[in-house]
Structure 1
Amino acid sequence: MRPTGWGLGLILGLGVLMSAGAQAAASGKDTLAFLQQVQSAARSLDYSGIYVYQQGHLLQASRLVHVVDGTGEHERLEMLDGAPRECMRENGVEQCLQPEHKIVVIQPARSDHFPGLLLGNEQAIVQHYDWLPSSRTYRIAGRNCSVSELKARDRLRYSYRICTDLKTHLLLKSQTLDPAGHLVDQVAFSSIRMGADVKPGSLASQWDTRDWRLLTETSTPIDLNARGWRFSLPAGFRPVAELSRQIGPDHAVDQMVVSDGLSAISIFIETFDPKRDQTIRQGDLRQGAVNIYRMRLASYWLTAVGEVPARTVRDLAHAVQYVPQAAH
């Protein structure tokens, strides 16, 4: 899931529509049905287009191609701004190309990028968000879409204002709103083709990678509790993964991922290295909707990263405990 011409008009337009036309919160059953419909469109339809992400003055455009056939999902995501980068997904495996370094990284596929919406834990969504549908429509990338809002019931998470295609239910635009209702970031298709207009040949990469270096990201499931770590999670967030990632020959990072169904937080744990880590700054960092909090805990670095308000990641990090005897 941008204040240039059409973007600014959309921000103002959607805000007026929601404030004037938002209905009472839909039932939990209706909310889940709607979310599953939107997620199904992202996973099952053929579509291609360019979408633009904005945070503050930063604009980033990406070209996305998504095709489903008898062998499953196929996708190509190409970054159009900055250093060239391209990721190609075949079902659960993803190859990411870094042309400037002539590297291909093979890793488990991510499914949390636009226009996907759900991250799991659907019941938590019903408990912590209200779906406010609207009878009003808007126009995005030449297609009519329906405006609605997923409004957080507390200040631990963001709210989302979205516009979904009237015919296919595909997510065309998503705006992230902070607890005060201010726009944090947004992403939207600026052009899109669907169905038979999407050519399977557009999945092919433009890069010849035959002499490139191949790297495989390795990760191993772990039990952080058995290693002595104790977590007090924000309301509605549940663990979805616990992994140990090998970053380099002598550098491993443990990671816990928690989610409330719409947003996710990662907690990274790595051994403190006096030679490597002396210059790392503790405290808050922010990149658009993503807030980061880093702190030293015993002989470890602890970093919480998530698309949630800064207070949420800060409180989560400070609630982590390490019990050495439990690890032994």
Structure 2
Amino acid sequence: MMARQGAVRFSRQACGLLAGLMLGAAAQAAQPTESAGPAGDVQAFLQQIQKAARSLDYSGVYVYQQGHTLQSSRLVHLVDGTGERERQEVLDGAPRECLRQDNVEQCLLPDRKLVVIRPARSDHFPGLLLGNAQAIAAHYEWHTSPGTYRVAGRECSVSELKARDRLRYSYRICTDKETHLLLKSQTLDPDGHLVDQTAFSSIRVGAAVQSSALTTHWDTRSWQLVTESSAPTDLQSQGWRFTLPPGFQSVAELSRQIGPAHAVKQLVVADGLAAISIFIETFDPKRDQTIRQGDLRQGAVSIHRMRLASYWLTAVGEAPAQTVRDLARAVQYVPQAAR
């Protein structure tokens, strides 16, 4: 999830969707083994990383790099008797931060004096898994590199999840030797070129994390409050038909209310590591006439926007542009099939 000037209109539809260039000379030079293990092993490995992201106490600063653009964020994560709590603060550009309590988060936009309450996402860094991990081995090859590397002063193990086709990206990751927490992640396109990367530049784990670090310094008592809500829906019963890329499965069908008069339907599909969403909303000539149809890209995120009947479709996900484009163009609307 860092909108650029050219994607201001997209951000409205996406509702908050989507932060040394390589892991190091030694890691690049190391030859990976032919295979790191059977399917069950890669599932256990990835579940271990996900569990560390959700259950450990940690705080630090991580950096997202996309081309020549860098953005730093401070992240505090704590699990105690009140549940899972998190504070994420963007340190560059306009100030903004999100405070999460279990499955609900408050995002603070100080320059607009605005608080947005919405369902929380848990798939951001250092989380890794999206949806069901069982099919990952069928679409990614798991390789490990010998030896260790260092990120933010901590030793980590380097491994790669290499896509078996050109429908998805590959990932090179470095996980903490002691805790299995993801310390660095890189996204590689089908030709092996670096698309973007995220890595901790400093981190503390365990008892050194204080609950006071979860408290914002902004006084929001006079700020405007906006609530975004979502509810499960059945898109097929409404006449929508989708053809999913191989390996991707539907993980959510939602109806989202963004403000008092803006409703958006959303389909989320994932292959375990990558997710693509299709947002569907009624086409408004006054509001949407100037929005450009076609492709847009922000780092690893590909976007395709198109008009279908009286609706506006936006497909967005961390996948190659062709995959996102094909998914959007395969959508059919059959109103007579609606129940």
Indicate whether the TM-score tops 0.5: yes
| 1:1-328 mapped onto 2 (5 Å cutoff) | 7-8=20-21, 10=23, 12-17=25-30, 20-327=31-338
Q: Per the alignment, in what secondary structure is the counterpart of residue 32 of structure 1?
A: helix
In 2, distance between residues paired with 1:9 and 1:268?
34
- How far is 1:270 from its partner? 1.0
In 2, distance between residues paired with 1:66 and 1:23?
36
Deviation readout 1:237-296 (Å, 9 max, x if unpaired): 111111111224332111111111111000011111111111111111000000000111
In 1, distance between residues paired with 2:235 and 2:138?
27
- How far is 1:14 from its partner? 3.1
- How far is 1:130 from its partner? 1.5
Q: Per the alignment, in what secondary structure is the counterpart of residue 189 of structure 1?
A: strand
CA spacing shift, 1:9–1:37, aligned 2, 3 Å: closer
Q: Per the alignment, in what secondary structure is the counterpart of residue 220 of structure 2?
A: coil
Does the CA-based 8 Å contact 1:21-1:136 persist in structure 2?
Answer: no
CA spacing shift, 1:94–1:240, aligned 2, 3 Å: same
In 1, distance between residues paired with 2:151 and 2:36?
25
In 1, distance between residues paired with 2:282 and 2:117?
25
Unaligned runs of 5+ in 1: 2-6
TM-score by length of 1: 0.95
In 1, distance between residues paired with 2:146 and 2:34?
8
Moved more, 178-187 or 250-259: 250-259
In 2, distance between residues paired with 1:186 and 1:73?
26
Deviation readout 1:43-86 (Å, 9 max, x if unpaired): 11111000000111110000000111122211100000111101
CA spacing shift, 1:21–1:124, aligned 2, 3 Å: closer
Aligned position for 2:7: none
Does the CA-based 8 Å contact 2:227-2:258 persist in structure 1?
Answer: no
Does the CA-based 8 Å contact 2:49-2:175 persist in structure 1?
Answer: yes
Does the CA-based 8 Å contact 1:26-1:133 persist in structure 2?
Answer: no
CA spacing shift, 1:249–1:68, aligned 2, 3 Å: closer
In 1, distance between residues paired with 2:322 and 2:22?
31
Q: Per the alignment, in what secondary structure is the counterpart of residue 235 of structure 1?
A: coil
Counting aligned pairs with the same residue, the percent is: 74
- How far is 1:25 from its partner? 4.2
- How far is 1:233 from its partner? 0.3
- How far is 1:12 from its partner? 4.3
In 1, distance between residues paired with 2:233 and 2:40?
35
- How far is 1:16 from its partner? 2.2
Does the CA-based 8 Å contact 1:22-1:148 persist in structure 2?
Answer: no
In 2, distance between residues paired with 1:210 and 1:240?
37
In 2, distance between residues paired with 1:250 and 1:111?
27
Aligned position for 1:4: none
Alignment: residue pair count: 321
Q: Per the alignment, in what secondary structure is the counterpart of residue 34 of structure 1?
A: helix
TM-score by length of 2: 0.92
- How far is 1:120 from its partner? 2.0
Does the CA-based 8 Å contact 2:227-2:259 persist in structure 1?
Answer: no
- How far is 1:211 from its partner? 1.3
Does the CA-based 8 Å contact 1:48-1:66 persist in structure 2?
Answer: yes
In 2, distance between residues paired with 1:266 and 1:48?
30
AA of the residue aligned to 1:251: H
- How far is 1:13 from its partner? 4.2
CA spacing shift, 1:97–1:136, aligned 2, 3 Å: same
- How far is 1:9 from its partner? 6.1
In 1, distance between residues paired with 2:24 and 2:199?
12
In 2, distance between residues paired with 1:256 and 1:123?
20
Cα-Cα RMSD: 1.4
In 1, distance between residues paired with 2:252 and 2:231?
10
Q: Per the alignment, in what secondary structure is the counterpart of residue 43 of structure 1?
A: helix
AA of the residue aligned to 2:21: L
AA of the residue aligned to 1:143: R
Does the CA-based 8 Å contact 2:158-2:174 persist in structure 1?
Answer: yes
In 1, distance between residues paired with 2:145 and 2:21?
20
In 2, distance between residues paired with 1:250 and 1:73?
32
